[in-house]
Amino acid sequence: MRDGPTPPPGQPQRPSHDGRNGGPADPDVNPLRRPCDRTRTRWHVGLALAVLIALICGVIAGARMWSDAARTAHDEAAHRHETTATTLARATGAATSARDGTPPVLVDASWHAPDGTPRTGKVAVQSRTAEGTTLTIWVDDAGAVTRAPRSTVEGQLAAAVGGTFIAGALALTAAGVVGLRLRRAEAAALDAWESEWAVVEPLWTHRGRT
pLDDT of residue 182: 82
pLDDT of residue 30: 56
User: What DSSP character marks residue 27?
Assistant: G
User: What are φ and ψ of residue 88, in 5° steps?
Assistant: -105, 0
Per-residue tens of pLDDT for the chain, all 210 residues: 445 555 455 444 444 444 444 444 454 555 555 666 677 788 888 889 988 999 999 999 989 988 888 888 888 888 899 999 999 988 886 544 445 455 588 899 999 999 989 999 999 888 888 888 999 999 999 999 998 888 878 888 888 899 999 999 999 998 888 888 888 877 777 777 777 777 776 777 766 555
Burial class (CB in 10 A: 0-12, 13-18, 19+), 7: exposed
pLDDT of residue 93: 62
pLDDT of residue 70: 86
pLDDT of residue 155: 82
* DSSP string for 93-158: --TTHHHHTPPPEEEEEEEE-TTS-EEEEEEEE-TTPPTT-EEEEEEETTS-EEPPPPPHHHHHHH
pLDDT of residue 74: 87
Q: Where are the domains of the chain?
A: 35-72+153-209, 80-149
pLDDT of residue 87: 92
CA distances from 62 to 66, 68, 71, 115 (A): 6, 10, 14, 38
pLDDT of residue 36: 67
